């Protein structure tokens, strides 16, 4: 029987948490423009706007030339706590994982008593379809790169 597993990563942010979270909340389709070598297509396939129960389709590359497709449902969008939970419901990911859920949480470091500094925390919860399937470390790397790219974009465009 397959067990649920989790991996996570924190990425320090220089940009404002409002802008960073706002990108994933309202402008995630711009991943295609910011990372054209990685993302080929972004489309809302169910729902009118970017909110809970919206289904988006991504076409992307993950360390290879092969184009992958994923239909992702937004399970939770919490603007007060600044987190979004994405659940893969169709696509290439489900060949290797029975369950693949990603949570993006944007945390204001000034509220965090230890360490300081704002950060994005990406958590992947997954269940392998087969024992020999590796942990999705390549997705963690993708989330790190995306976070750094989005953060750099907003850091460069912040007014002093």
Asked whether the beta carbons of 75 and 52 are under 8 A apart, the reply is yes
Contacts of 112 (CB under 8 A, 6+ apart): none
Q: Average pLDDT of 26-36?
A: 93
For 113-143, the pLDDT digits (tens) are 454 579 999 999 999 999 999 999 999 999 9
DSSP strand pairing (83-91 vs 97-107): antiparallel
DSSP strand pairing (39-46 vs 119-128): unpaired
According to the CATH classification, is domain 4-156 in 3.30.530.20? yes
pLDDT band for 158, please (50, 70, 90 cuts). low
Query: Given this model, what pLDDT does residue 109 score?
Result: 77
Q: In this structure, what token pair is assigned to residue 25?
A: 């909340």
Q: In this structure, what token pair is assigned to residue 102?
A: 């990603």
Query: Given this model, what pLDDT does residue 116 score?
Result: 55
> Reduced to 3 states, what is the DSSP secondary structure of residue 72?
strand
Domain ranges of the chain: 4-156
Q: In this structure, what token pair is assigned to residue 30?
A: 């711009």
For 141-152, the pLDDT digits (tens) are 999 999 999 999
pTM metric for this prediction = 0.91
Residue 52 has φ and ψ, to the nearest 5°, of: -55, 140
Query: Given this model, what pLDDT does residue 50 score?
Result: 84
């Amino acid at each position: 029987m397959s067990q649920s597993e989790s991996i996570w990563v924190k990425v320090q942010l220089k940009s404002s948490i409002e802008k960073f979270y706002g990108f994933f909340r309202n402008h995630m389709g711009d991943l295609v423009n910011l990372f054209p070598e990685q993302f080929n297509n972004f489309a809302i396939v169910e729902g009118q706007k970017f909110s809970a129960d919206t289904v988006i389709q991504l076409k992307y590359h993950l360390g290879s030339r092969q184009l992958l497709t994923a239909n992702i449902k937004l399970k939770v969008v919490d603007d007060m706590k600044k987190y979004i939970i994405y659940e893969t419901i169709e696509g290439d990911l489900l060949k290797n994982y029975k369950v693949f859920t990603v949570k993006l949480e944007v945390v204001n470091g000034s509220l965090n008593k230890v360490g300081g500094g704002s950060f994005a925390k990406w958590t992947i919860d997954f269940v392998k379809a087969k024992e020999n399937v590796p942990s999705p470390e390549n997705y963690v790397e993708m989330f790190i790169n995306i976070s750094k790219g989005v953060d750099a974009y907003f850091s460069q465009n912040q007014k002093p």
